[in-house]
Structure 1
């Protein structure tokens, strides 16, 4: 999502210094949050109880069945027989010592995290209103509130994952509700646009540029721009416009949003613009991401740039403010209906390329946090629309399914183990929603709900049971089985 604007009118300026957007778009992106106490400073410090949660959403529905693969003889045999041309060769799997699973070879960037006990897979997670057996699921009418709405739909399931609800009509996200319940200084901070995950009933996520070197837009004046009279005049006019009293409540709310947006852009502009090797860069972060920066100084992948942005913000939390911060990043392209592999080689192709981008960026981020001594204080985790069918389609791809594997990475993770319940790899078996021949595809019924997964993360983050219940009202349906043990 590289939205840089042209700088042809100012040839003497660095093209990365100008991302010209109108002021209304700026306010909409930054939202109306508790932003006034963000301060810009130069020192790097963090509180003794500092913690950060980093969500990496894999849009399109990641094929978790090829991300973490059973490695014992019986289940690998079942896997290989059904996955056919998509099956990863057993010898290609990255060993996960201590458990009978292997990582996709494209995730080599995460191998150090596994070796250090800081990585865990969580199996068969999905949208659930309550625990469901196959017979219970089959007996439910489509309109039942106990059945997640619009299963297998990208847009609906993305919303349900981001909101921790089984209704796509839910407005606020579980990250946003948790931020509000905890009273964090900042709303959820996104480097991947404005998403439902960080939304509350009244506050939008704080959206920052996804690329190091970008700035907020026409309002932020660099030293070079301050010499250009039209830019100075425009900034002064905007200040005067939104400082004046408004005639009605809606107009005043809009003016307040603009003032907050301008304040944030002034205070954080210098931080988000820091590039690898530039003034203000952190050596440990630069070193961790060095292999992901090309000879032109640009990041080789979009997710690498996003994770670099988040790493800077965590290290500079004295500037960002607050001892509890939640971040959102994303990677798109996982809707692999066709050509999931290339040339019949399952270790290459579209899915392998996506997992390599994920593993390299998340691995670099993990290394940076570990080097800086922040490893135990920062936990990153994946989410995705849904899993993919166990049975491949005729286009060497996979179709929409339900339960899926997620990854959790960080120094506080109880690694060296797996969590959740891996599905029985039996078409038409107790974990497959299908009964008739045409629907025996391996769409696994989740055994862990999004709300249980999220509650585990929020409990580590410092949320009380009451705050977790506020953030995840659907959790009550799971009784005392509220959390897993991966943190």
Structure 2
């Protein structure tokens, strides 16, 4: 990046304050909150390594057959927690007792035997398939969540962040952003490690003052370039400071799930802090259990039990936090792993890479219960036998997009690239209105701005309207209407409206355009 290009990319400063800093002001929030308060959040929990679904959700109606294939690993039937409402046919690992509580509270759904045709047993390739929503022989350079965010915010990253949408579209907690949140090579989100990481949040890691000579100026330039790589740092940092955690149930220290809990605590804190981020992505590893999956003295315990307990306890605590913070109506989540495990165990008290797996959906607004039947356990299964697929994993994605994020059915193919059936995972009745989607599509476009800005007495308010009724108003920083510049019918196009504030006191004002169901608000500054 050249210096001139860099300078041009820096947010315009008004009275010593960057434009983006207005995004968190109460006045601007009040003018725009009606459009964004209905936005929903998806939390994706990635269980890396390939989870053994048959040692997590048990087909109790076929216990004896399963035991014949897993005698060195399967726990006694009376140790398994039977899920209420399944007539004793389906159970869950006793280490996931917190998930059993969520099940009884109707905040948990299980989708049985999820997969895709022609499984890949490579960790890397299978992960790419799940992240990109591709066929097994198809290679895509975009992720399903990234394509959704591009569908919702097609102007990104141009014009982002902006006063209306100052927050990241997606946040990955730990690790890189990853293919799932990319669109055509563009990261549609950011990655942070923790809310105390100054490098990842604001870039304010430099304790030594730069010298005033040429070398110091060069150093300042390099530091500013680094700072601009995280344009959303101020927003995330402000959200973290404003947000909080109220649940006391999170695992800590050396308890299973402590690391996952730390990530989910950040998610809850940022949601409660007011971020309008749509997707949060967290992960927990260790599920590649080729050996020593269970304890030889107690098959209810061991490595896999600890992993499952960590997932169960962490998500339960997260939902408890969301409830206490008053945001649970806006939050839903899903789990996935890159593949399941084989039906038969190996000689090392472990399981090898397999096919179908159960997925969890969690939250107050999911449709609770089982989706699908227990997987069929073939009595003649061999070491190469896998759980057959009941549901394509992209049907789960289709359900999330259609009934949680309210993507119209006719538009699903734009995101998933093919048609997939939606499953009854969410109640679609509470979908955000279509005008919110229309507003998101305009995010990043300048529908209204002032030039010059700042100004002393008069300025021009430049607007773009798609036609029909258009209203342009000026508010002061207390929310009082100061002036209506236009209120009537306009043909589609761009217009300049004179704005005379000669008699108004100096300070910050807000110019708002309302065009049909679209609206946009921008700060303007009158100087003395």
Q: Normalized against structure 1, the TM-score is what?
A: 0.71
Residues 1:189 and 2:171 are matched in the alignment:
yes
Deviations 1:235-271 (A, max 9, x none): 975663587xxxxxxxxxxx6xx56424322332354
1:140 corresponds to which residue? none
| Structure 1 residue 230 displacement after superposition | 4.8
1:394 corresponds to which residue? 347
What secondary structure sits across from 2:198 in the alignment? coil
Residues 1:118 and 2:107 are matched in the alignment:
yes
Higher helix proportion, which one?
A: 1
Distance 1:231 1:471 in 2: 50
Residues 1:351 and 2:300 are matched in the alignment:
no
Distance 2:170 2:83 in 1: 33
2:281 pairs with one of 314, 318, 328 = 328
1:162 pairs with one of 131, 134, 156 = 131
2:413 corresponds to which residue? 469
2:53 pairs with one of 42, 64, 79 = 64
Deviations 1:62-108 (A, max 9, x none): 01111111234xx1222223221211222222231101311111112
Seen in structure 2, the aligned counterparts of structure 1 residues 344 and 232 have a Cα distance that, compared at 3 Å, is farther
Distance 1:349 1:62 in 2: 14
| Structure 1 residue 350 displacement after superposition | 1.0
Contact 2:319 2:328 in 1 (8 A): yes
Distance 1:369 1:390 in 2: 37
Residues 1:337 and 2:290 are matched in the alignment:
yes
Higher relative contact order (CA 8 A, sep 6+): 1
Residues 1:264 and 2:223 are matched in the alignment:
no
| Structure 1 residue 217 displacement after superposition | 5.1
Residues 1:95 and 2:39 are matched in the alignment:
no
Distance 1:263 1:450 in 2: 34
Distance 2:198 2:379 in 1: 51
Residues 1:83 and 2:83 are matched in the alignment:
no
1:250 corresponds to which residue? none
Contact 1:157 1:168 in 2 (8 A): no
Distance 1:300 1:440 in 2: 31
What secondary structure sits across from 1:216 in the alignment? helix
Deviations 1:268-307 (A, max 9, x none): 23544x5xxxxx452xx23244x42349xx9972111111
1:220 pairs with one of 200, 203, 209 = 203
1:180 corresponds to which residue? 150
Structure 1: 5+ residue runs without aligned partners?
1-35, 129-146, 244-254, 275-279, 433-438
1:286 pairs with one of 234, 246, 250 = 246
The CA RMSD measured in Å over matched residues stands at 3.2
Correspondence 1:197-236 to 2 at 5 A: 197-216=180-199, 220-221=203-204, 228-230=208-210
What secondary structure sits across from 2:231 in the alignment? helix
Residues 1:311 and 2:268 are matched in the alignment:
yes
Distance 1:392 1:301 in 2: 29
Report which stretch shifted further, 327-336 or 192-201: 192-201
| Structure 1 residue 39 displacement after superposition | 6.9
Distance 1:37 1:458 in 2: 30
| Structure 1 residue 401 displacement after superposition | 0.7
1:448 corresponds to which residue? 391
2:336 corresponds to which residue? 383
Distance 1:235 1:115 in 2: 62
Higher strand proportion, which one?
A: 2
2:122 corresponds to which residue? 153
Seen in structure 2, the aligned counterparts of structure 1 residues 326 and 238 have a Cα distance that, compared at 3 Å, is farther
Distance 1:411 1:187 in 2: 23
Contact 1:220 1:266 in 2 (8 A): no
Q: Tell me how many residue pairs correspond in the alignment.
A: 384
Q: Normalized against structure 2, the TM-score is what?
A: 0.66
Seen in structure 2, the aligned counterparts of structure 1 residues 345 and 168 have a Cα distance that, compared at 3 Å, is farther
